[in-house]
Chains A and B, each alone.
Chain A
Amino acid sequence: MVKGHLAELERHVVLDDGSSKGDEGQVALRLLANLVRADSDVKLSASSRTLERLTTMVLETRNRELAKFATRATILGAATQVTIQVFEASRGYLPRERQALTHV
């Protein structure tokens, strides 16, 4: 059941372009982050679209809450290697590093 919810939340996060009414994407991201926090066995799907979207949020958003929950979802839901790469990029936000991240 959790997997079904997870997939649905990931879909909302990926599809949200920030223009949706009622901040659906933000709510989905918050739920996603807290879902992976609540259960350590729950991991994000290996979908590159999800990871790319989360990484973009971590590195490029100006919204504090978005950055917070996207980072949390990435750390707790993705592989350790991804987390380390995002962290290293987040220190400097260099375009070259950002480019490399899209190929994670």
Chain B
Amino acid sequence: MLAARVAALVEFARYAPEAFEDLSDIVLERLMRRVVYVSIVVCFFFLSLVLPRNPFKDETLEDEEEEWYEDTANIPPLVWAKIGTLKLLRHRCLNAALRASRDIPNGDHTLDTAMEEKEKAEKMVGPVIKMLQALMVHDGAISENVKEEYVPLLHWTCLCVDMGW
């Protein structure tokens, strides 16, 4: 259900930015804590306890395996949720940038308001850019301290790049 919830929130951030911004702090705080900072290694550890193992699989070949999911249906919900969260942040930044770049003398849109919007956009976009940079630098992990050895975690970063990030 997590992936579906995040997918719905992405649409709100994209098409109803005003409604989303009113409560974005709470939503984003939760998403960061419950989705972005949750290591997929933990998720897969619990899954591995539940799912049956393939007895014919050669463990030594793991490193040489293809790093992409062949079927999107096999991508775990947490990975979808992480991708969704990144999309949400992207739409939020784009909307903020759009608001900041509106023509200054435009009805009630005064110079002060324009400057406020610009500052707000800068505050919003900066941390997101840093986070995306960290994801690229740490091979899909949010920071150096987070151990993301499990190969599929790399996929969600690669998938984001593939999806036009």
Contact = CB atoms under 8 A, between A and B. Distances in A.
Contact of B19 (A62, A63, A70, A83): A83
Give chain A's interface secondary structure class. helix
Contacts of A39: none
B161 interface: no
Contact of A72 (B4, B11, B19, B26): B11
Given A63-B4, A67-B7, A71-B8, A76 B15 contact: yes
A30 B81 CA distance: 20
A66 B15 contact: no
A91 B23 contact: yes
A91 to B, nearest CB: 6
B129 interface: no
Interface of A: 37, 58, 61-68, 70-72, 75-76, 80, 83-84, 87-88, 90-91, 93
Q: Which 3 A-B pairs have the closest CB atoms?
A: A71-B11, A67-B4, A68-B7
9 contacts: A64-B7, A65-B7, A71-B7, A71-B11, A84-B19, A87-B12, A87-B16, A87-B23, A90-B8
